[in-house]
Amino acid sequence: MSARTGLVVVRLLGAGVLGVVLAVFTPLPNRLADYARVAPRLDAADAIVVLGGGVHPDGTLSCEALHRATRGLVLYHQGLAPLVAFSGAGSRGGPVEAEVYSRLARDLQIPPEAIVTVSGGRTTHEEAVALAEVLRPRRVHRILLVTNSLHLTRAAGAFEKAGFQVAPAPTDVVPTSVRGAQERLALLRQVALEVAARTFYRLAGYL
């Protein structure tokens, strides 16, 4: 490639950046997010599976995790499954997310025998594998999978690959109706990250 061609490529990349900047002033990110998200299908299941969303070193759940926990607990109280499985690993010496979830569930009157915690998964793929090892012996086949609506396509694929029948139960923390440029940029970033992650999962054979 000659220097001149290289410079043209560099300028085209720059034009791409300007394109992204202009796009956040339009509803394009909202349309993309609408296309990428998964709609809920809330049927009765053998278990509700709440995926890890992050826990801070002081033991408090991240906003994302709190939304997921709340969604899972509401579904349990609606009687959609007799079991709630909480997934989430811990960092070195830090709190284990699944245990933080579990404490919250017990505080909210979920009976201990209805709670399962699995802390072996640090990625969505690892969570699917770890939960399969724990839930399959309990004859859990059909699950209500709780995570955000953009993450759900990849997560559902990983759990189906692990042998589950998945009914999506998205939280509503990805507001696709946002209007400001900053929020649209954040939405576009989330969509781009999820598309990249799905591509990686396909290439790695996790889906």
Partner 1 sequence: MAELLVVLIFAATSTVAWALNVTILRLGVPRLGALGADVLECLGFGVIFLTANVGVGMLTVFLLRGVTSWFVTLYVFVDVILVPVSFVQGVALFCWRRQSGTSHEVPVVRL
Binding footprint of partner 1 on the chain (CB under 8 A): 7, 9-18, 25, 122, 179-181, 189, 193
Shortest Å distance, C-beta 76 to partner 1:
29
Shortest Å distance, C-beta 14 to partner 1:
3
**86 DSSP β-pair partners:** 50, 117
Shortest Å distance, C-beta 43 to partner 1:
32
The C-alpha atoms of residue 156 and residue 207 are separated, in whole angstroms, by 9
Shortest Å distance, C-beta 63 to partner 1:
15
Nearer to partner 1, 114 or 181 (CB): 181
Nearer to partner 1, 12 or 39 (CB): 12
Q: Computed from CA positions of residues 161, 167, 168, 169, in that sequence, does the dihedral angle turn out positive or negative?
A: negative
Nearer to partner 1, 1 or 18 (CB): 18
Nearer to partner 1, 45 or 100 (CB): 100
The C-alpha atoms of residue 28 and residue 31 are separated, in whole angstroms, by 5
Q: Which residues contact 141 (CB under 8 A, 6 or more apart)?
A: 46, 163, 164, 165
CB-neighbour burial class of residue 161 (10 A; exposed 0-12, middle 13-18, buried 19+) = middle
Nearer to partner 1, 67 or 164 (CB): 67
Nearer to partner 1, 80 or 125 (CB): 125
Given a contact cutoff of 8 angstroms between Cβ atoms, the answer to whether 48 and 146 are in contact is: yes
Shortest Å distance, C-beta 182 to partner 1:
10
SS3 content of the chain, % helix, strand, coil (to 5): 50, 15, 35
- 89 phi/psi in degrees, rounded to 5: -85, 175
Shortest Å distance, C-beta 16 to partner 1:
7
The C-alpha atoms of residue 174 and residue 167 are separated, in whole angstroms, by 19
